[in-house]
Amino acid sequence: MPNLSRDALWGFLCGLVIATLFVALFTPYLVWERLALGKKCTSKERVAILIPYRDREEHLKTFLQHMHPFLKRQQVDYSIYVIEQQGEPKFCRGLLFNIGFSEVMKTETYDCFIFHDVDLIPEDDRIKYSCSSSPRHLSVAVDKFGYRMFSYSHYGHLIHVCGGVTAFSTSHFKLVNGFSNLFRGWGGEDDDMFLRLKARGLDYSRQDLNIARYRSLPHEQAEKNETNYLLLKNSQTRYLQDGLNSLETVDYRVKSTTRLPLYTHITVWIDAK
Ligand SMILES: *[C@@H]1O[C@H](CO)[C@@H](O)[C@H](O)[C@H]1NC(C)=O
């Protein structure tokens, strides 16, 4: 009988020692894991998606219907901003991006900006809506252009056409002084951006042609404004004083900023010259 109780006592003590060891070893591990997890959550990249916009209600509806589930599947921490132009009849895509960027940065902080046409819908979930170590061209292969890449030679530069959808870290966008404010109507501002990057020793990286596929929503194609292409002659010196740092010389006014459930709507009035 006394033997039995001694065994029981030993058993109990052994159990106690094992349990203590278990707690002593596992507590630091659990704490470490929580900390690591917490850090991962707070350091998640914040992404702003900027849409230059005018008079494309159907496209915007389709875009939002597609993009919210798409971005949620990728678990992106994102917000969508629609920058709507009023006043000036010719569309100012680059200027709208600069105004959007500067307005958004007044009250928020983002690590990554995606400059996105409203009529382009990504077809593949592997197209990453995030920023990397260099600016990135996302809409490499568009259906209406036969899913092909284009380049052309202009004023002695080989220009890769990088329109549609591009991703810039906030610091890279500032480094090239944003887009030019000077382009009016369709064409050229994206080629100007390509040359800005070159001048800064940066380049667009591109996702694989077979992945980076986009569907374009149908609309009447505006005629290219050939005058814009004359501006490309001095893109690589002009960028230093034409862009984010010269916005205050542009005649525009932000009329309203409205937070809606699916996006933030910024309306901008631009003086018609
Ligand atoms: C073409 O671009 C020039 C300058 O870039 C601008 O002055 C002109 O109004 C534009 N015309 C059209 C039709 O977009």
DSSP per-residue letters across 80-96: EEEEEEEESSS--HHHH
The protein residue with its alpha carbon nearest to ligand 1, atom 12, reads: 185
Q: Same domain for 26 and 4?
A: yes
- If asked whether residues 28 and 75 sit together in one domain, one would say no
pLDDT for residue 13: 81
* The predicted structure's pLDDT at residue 4: 61
Ligand 1 neighbours, Cβ below 6 Å, are 90, 182-185, 225, 227-228
Q: Rg of the chain over CA atoms, in angstroms?
A: 26
Q: Which residues pair with 85 in a beta bridge?
A: 268
CA 21/CA 74 separation, integer angstroms? 41
Tell me the per-residue pLDDT of 220-261, one tens digit each, with 9 for 90 and over.
Answer: 888 899 999 999 999 999 999 999 999 999 999 999 999 999
Do 18 and 62 belong together in one domain? no
User: Tokens standing for 254?
Assistant: 């932000």
Among 211, 271, 273, 245, residue whose Cα is nearest residue 86: 271
Mean predicted lDDT score pLDDT of the chain: 91
- Atom 14 of ligand 1, residue of closest alpha carbon: 185
Q: Are 89 and 19 contained in the same domain? A: no
Q: Is the dihedral of CA 201, 207, 208, 209 positive or negative?
A: negative
Which residues 6+ apart lie within 8 Å of 93 measured at CB? Answer: 52, 179, 183, 189
User: For residue 157, how far is its CA from the centre of ligand 1 (angstroms)?
Assistant: 22
Domain co-membership, 19 together with 138: no
Q: What is the pLDDT of residues 174-220, one digit of tens each?
A: 999 999 999 999 999 999 999 999 999 998 999 899 999 999 999 88
| CATH number of the domain encompassing residue 146 | 3.90.550.10
Same domain, 154 and 207: yes
Residues 17 and 36 placed together within one structural domain of the fold: yes
pLDDT for position 18: 76
On the CB side of 47, how many CA atoms lie within 13 Å of its CA?
21
Ranked by mean pLDDT, which of 36-50, 56-70, 200-214 comes out on top? 56-70
Do residue 239 and residue 167 come from a single domain?
yes
Beta bridge partners, 78, equal 47
The boundaries of the domain holding residue 142 are: 45-270
pLDDT confidence of residue 10: 80
Q: Do both 160 and 177 map to the same domain?
A: yes
- Contacts with 171 (C-beta within 8 Å, 6 or more apart), sequence order: none
Same domain, 59 and 125: yes
Lowest mean pLDDT among 30-34, 57-61, 194-198: 30-34
Instruction: Record the tokens describing residue 143, joined without a space.
Output: 């259906």
Instruction: Please report the atom of ligand 1 found closest to the CA of residue 182.
Output: 5
**Residues 180 and 234 reside in one and the same domain:** yes
What's the gap in Å between 77 CA and the centre of ligand 1?
37
Mean pLDDT computed over 122-131: 96
Which atom of ligand 1 is nearest the CA belonging to 230? 5
CA distance 30 to 32: 5
Cα(268)–Cα(273) distance, integer angstroms: 15
Averaged pLDDT for residues 92-113:
97
Give, for ligand 1, the residue of 54, 85, 88, 90 to mutate: max count of ligand atoms closer than 8 Å to Cβ: 90
* Total length of the chain: 273
More confident residue, 160 or 173: 173
Q: Are residues 260 and 134 in the same domain?
A: yes
Q: In total, how many domains does the chain have? A: 2
